[in-house]
Amino acid sequence: MKKKSVVLFLGVFVFGFLLPDFVQAQDNYSNQEAVTKRLRQLSRSYKDQTNLRSLAKSPDGNDIWLLTIGTGDTSTKPAVAVIGGTDGTQILGTELALNFAEDLLSGSNNELIVSTTFYVLPVTNPDAAQQYFSSLKFERGGNGTSTDDDRDGSFDEDGFEDLNGDGLITLFRVEDPTGKWMISKEDSRVMVQADPKKGEKGTYLVYSEGRDNDEDGKFNEDGVGGVNINKNFTFDFPYFTPGSGENMASQPETRAILDFLYEEARNVYAVVSFGSENNLSSPVKFNRGAVSKRVISGWYEDDTDVNKLVSDAYNEITGTKDAPAGPEQQGDLFQWAYFHYGRFSFSTPGWWTPAVEDTSGKARKFDSPEAQYLAWAESQGLDAFVDWTEINHPDFPGKKVEVGGIKPFSHVPPYTLVKEIAESHTAFITKLAEMKPNVKLVNFKAENAGKNLTRITVDVLNDGALPTASHVGTRTSWVRDVMVDVKTDGKLNLVSGPKRSYQESIGADESVSYSWLVRGSGDLTIKAGAPQAGFATIQQSIK
């Protein structure tokens, strides 16, 4: 059994002259003000290709920004939704989304912008994300809604205290024979849970830095930061769980995302989200039992095949490896996008602690991710740890108490690495856009079928690398079927064949044949497609 670690993780590409000085000179992650400035600059510089609007205000008054990239009627072209910052601690995702938008617009791939729509929501939990930029830094998941997480009738009454005054919330440890924690043999800075099966004995109590303000024996269990937007979506909602909210979709941020994607963004075929979940490094596995239930809880087999195809592209383009497990969470965006929205849903944290090599060049193995992170940080010359320092803690009189631990946001790479990470993820999203479903009308024929009769045949082809709809999408009304519509005018009349028909989904590089019989002469128009797969039209005069 591996030792269970306790150390809590609480804690660009420079474009052309069109981009403002604050982007060109940027040397740190973007707070809400910087996010807003960067988006507004893109909107001003690329008026014909962008539309910027605020979908809602968060409880703390921050905008939930949506930048639409595309030309013409963007609602009729296949779209990718790029979403960052739903988990407020994942601030890298905001940078990756912003960099993608800036890189795409300043690049030379105008054809892709003409044929594809991109909906970019760079930060969807801005209240929580701002804690990274606060004078007191800790990893905050919840927005500005006040909550009673411990259900004692009081709100936000037991938050963090900076016991050593360093502006960081880490840990404190208490020497106590009843404790379950011990100093790691691998790294003396790290605390791990003792394993009695190995004859280990705990000698420490370990808590997040703060006091027991409400004297209930718990520390920091009901602090600032209310509802985590990444726990507030409708699939597998975690009722009565701290941070999830009283009800699903209870927050203005969540409702804004749902309302926009459900009601307006019918043309989305894939959602790319930057969060802790990860089905891009390692694709979802097919589970027959999970899809045999009345309410499914697993991906359909043909959808897992698509996930594998996209995952292979991701790994090849980004060159990432040794990714840690990134399991789904109850109420998260990643699962909602697949199970309820019915789209292909792809998620990645974008970065994780790289492997640390030994003197022979082989990757070292660690018993805890904290020990690996500290070894990597040391190899990079990063100041990543607050040394254990003894303090007087009023809740533990007469006991030895020390504050210390890994600094908050250890899962966030140094900003100097963002440029390279962003470039590779922009290349991946571009590739995903090139893989989009694409409906075409091919092999049109008009053949004499007798006196004053003409037989019309055509193949509706999807020449994209992805199907026109996911398998799960065919089970929900939120994903449109491929429509085939026939119109005639003049003295041309439809004798046989439907004026309008529907196909749930057309696979990648597959086609469906259609045939009609018409009488007389006049103009014939055939239109086929779906918002998420594009539309194709043929007009022909029949004589």
Beta strands in 397-467 (DSSP E): 401-406, 439-450, 453-462
Tell me the residue range of the domain where 377 lies: 171-224+354-406
Q: How confident is the model at residue 490 (pLDDT cuts 50, 70, 90)?
A: confident
DSSP bridge partners of 345: 271
Among 91, 64, 82, 35, residue whose Cα is nearest residue 253: 64
Q: Provide the pLDDT for residue 25.
A: 53
Q: Which pLDDT score, from 0 to 100, does residue 477 have?
A: 83
450 within some domain: yes
Do 341 and 448 lie in one domain? The reply is: no
Same domain, 69 and 101: yes
Give Rg (Cα) of the chain: 27
- The string of pLDDT tens digits covering residues 38-68 is 999 999 999 999 999 999 999 999 999 999 9
Instruction: State how beta strands 401-406 and 439-450 pair.
Output: unpaired
Q: Are residues 318 and 423 in the same domain?
A: yes
Q: Rounded to the nearest 5 degrees, what angle is found at the Cα of 249, between the Cα atoms of 246 and 251?
A: 80
Residue 423 and residue 315 share a domain:
yes
**Last residue of some domain: 406, 424, 449?**
406
The H or E element that residue 494 is part of is strand 493-496
The pLDDT tens digits of the residues spanning 335-348 come to: 999 999 999 999 99
- Whether 4 is covered by a domain: the verdict is no
Same domain (yes/no): 513, 451: yes
Side-chain-side CA neighbours of residue 71 (13 Å): 10
Is the same domain home to 260 and 128? yes
Q: Identity (one letter) of the amino acid at 277?
A: E
Residues 427 and 296 in one domain: yes
Q: Considering the chain, what is the average pLDDT of its residues?
A: 91
The CATH number of whichever domain residue 98 belongs to comes to 3.40.630.10
Does a structural domain hold residue 528?
yes
Q: Is the pLDDT of residue 14 over 80?
A: no
**How many folded domains does the chain comprise?**
3
Instruction: Say yes or no: 358 and 310 in one domain.
Output: no
Say whether both 459 and 385 belong to one domain: no
Establish if 139 belongs to a structural domain: no
Exposure on the CB side of residue 282, measured as CA atoms within 13 A: 11
